[in-house]
Structure 1
């Protein structure tokens, strides 16, 4: 319940395929996202080999998530105040340099935990700025009638790369530890070339007096004020935060538990792919499910179903089968995303859309930044089954909160 999903058509219109600027951006980011998915799978495996500590592997993951979280609101301001193409080009150059350096260090056998932490922070910060600028730029690259199809294609891109990236990253890591990181660097080079080939403007002309009126892109507090003043959104964030923490922690715990039990790196990556299959199928089912379930009902169903399915997943903590119940749990995620962000867009004034979106993303995902470190700590002291059951308990608490929340019940009509 953190990212906007496609809420209309799952099949892009033919006209969008003839949009040169959008297709350059979309194709390059397919490759970039694929490289990121490979590297994200390989990073904890590398740290485990370097240190032998699940806690330190979790620390690296949490460090990256925290860096991205800290940069989320500033990224929104930057994307609204400065040239978005230039921002994305700078981010690609930084990410290219960071992962090329990490790949070279692994090849030379000089990589250590400190180097990994520095490069992860740099990469996470660049990712936050790039993704925010890209999200803001899409509207300027497509015609109004193409926007819903563009969102649908970006949603498919996200799930598709999550399907292919982790097993490919695991396979490459098994062939050579540096390969996933060098591959990620190549993906950023291709993204950079595509960005430089796009000539269309990526933002509308700025209003010079916007900030002085207290309502410009620098006024980030207005987004917080709007969200906190709405009982439903306020209550929803209290539920979304533990759900995201649990999903992130469970997936990390499965990866580490499988690696620790001697599972091949390719099968470890396949576990992440199984998880992504649930989201991909859920994205296709989202329009039909959204017509049948109101958002408050959807939240309750998602919360209780996730608690039960995570508990079931814990029974297979040393088997790739642990990913199957987790994939079933994430099936409702795209529908919840579409309903939530559709409701948010309908009730939010246009001049607050970007800031309110950033606040919701930040609040909903902030707790998830702690998940890898928490999972690693649990796995250092308890069995994989116990660690996973802890995350199921977190979701159960969120489900109870949703059941008795007056804020959730306060949304009496759909937008």
Structure 2
């Protein structure tokens, strides 16, 4: 049964400038870069500080568990808020709120009473993670109104490109800054990234939000229920809810196994390991760049998504037979390139097929669903890699994923037919 809500894109006629002349888009993109930079920097810097101060991996894992739990339990709540309010105001207000919480964390790192401060830091980390939940659905759902549907593929590519650059920078900087400047100084720098993000959203100026278009206001619980039901009743979104968790599960598991394979079987040096780590995001950015360049000329996007997924399985198998790190670098680069087509085009299709007024709930709920499954692979895969070998487990992972991808290709008609 189809959802009552239309799958057609928003029909409001707006005049949008070309992408790189669009002031609003450029400011939102810049703000998004700083927001992602702050998110990645924050999680690694806090985890690194906890491990450095306490020496406890268990306490460090609490930070990761907080972020997963927040997304799982409050993702749909954040998406519903994003669909009921002015998204621009929500974005910069939550950025400024995060600044306060992160500054609070930095101050607590200077606090002399260790037992008391750790509990307060955990509370502030939880509040920061909660405030951060609103940023993604608000910005993701606003994109089509900022650039228009004709430029949505190029804009999504630019957003993914920026996400990778900011994410890599944040992850690589965090440990170094904590070690060089200390935990408190690093967290103050983190607060600055959220402040800049909020100021960029302010500078972007006004852009449309559903609250300006919806004449009939429903209760919050009705909107929340409607958003969750939409995921399961709409055939296309239901397909995406099935694809995304399994895609990320196999993808992250393969990355972990490739790292183990590189260290234990390829015997890579630290420089070679760094090059290997850089190949996946580099491949992803190359794929995003090609999608941006081809833009409207790209056809049969549904086939591209499912076909790219089917290619990843044999690629995992091929990497499991590789003996040289230099050959491995090429395959891992291809790994990131193909993955960009699986994920980026899915985001494009959601923005085109789902009514704009419910996109916040769709993005947030899909994010919550996706956050649950992948950690299972990261727990199970190392156990089998130790018992057998990373190459053997990676080969089996490739076979399983190829079977899953073929099933998707055969059965997920709504995705396959999208042009």
Aligned to 1:7: none
Superposition map of 1:7-406 within 5 A: 15-108=18-111, 110=114, 114-142=119-147, 146-178=151-183, 179-204=185-210, 205-209=212-216, 211=218, 219-227=226-234, 230=235, 234=238, 237-248=241-252, 273-286=278-291, 294-306=304-316, 308-309=318-319, 311=320, 326-344=332-350, 355-368=361-374, 374=379, 393=396, 396-404=399-407, 406=410
CA distance in 2 between counterparts of 1:384 and 1:126 reads: 41
CA distance in 1 between counterparts of 2:150 and 2:414 reads: 33
Q: Rate the CA distance shift 1:84–1:347 in 2: closer, same or farther, 3 A.
A: closer
Return the offset for 1:75: 1.7
Aligned to 1:5: none
The SS at the match of 2:47 is helix
Contact 1:62 1:371 in 2 (8 A): no
Contact 1:279 1:333 in 2 (8 A): yes
What is the aligned length? 392
Say whether 1:413 aligns with 2:417. Answer: yes
Return the offset for 1:408: 4.0
* Runs of 5+ consecutive residues of structure 1 not aligned to the other structure: 1-12
CA distance in 1 between counterparts of 2:309 and 2:17 reads: 35
Q: Rate the CA distance shift 1:29–1:255 in 2: closer, same or farther, 3 A.
A: farther
Q: Rate the CA distance shift 1:356–1:254 in 2: closer, same or farther, 3 A.
A: same
RMSD: 4.6
Q: Rate the CA distance shift 1:47–1:134 in 2: closer, same or farther, 3 A.
A: same
Q: Rate the CA distance shift 1:222–1:401 in 2: closer, same or farther, 3 A.
A: same
The SS at the match of 2:226 is coil
What's the TM-score, normalizing by structure 1? 0.73
CA distance in 2 between counterparts of 1:53 and 1:321 reads: 37
Q: Rate the CA distance shift 1:98–1:198 in 2: closer, same or farther, 3 A.
A: same
What's the TM-score, normalizing by structure 2? 0.73
Q: Rate the CA distance shift 1:301–1:115 in 2: closer, same or farther, 3 A.
A: farther
CA distance in 1 between counterparts of 2:99 and 2:259 reads: 26
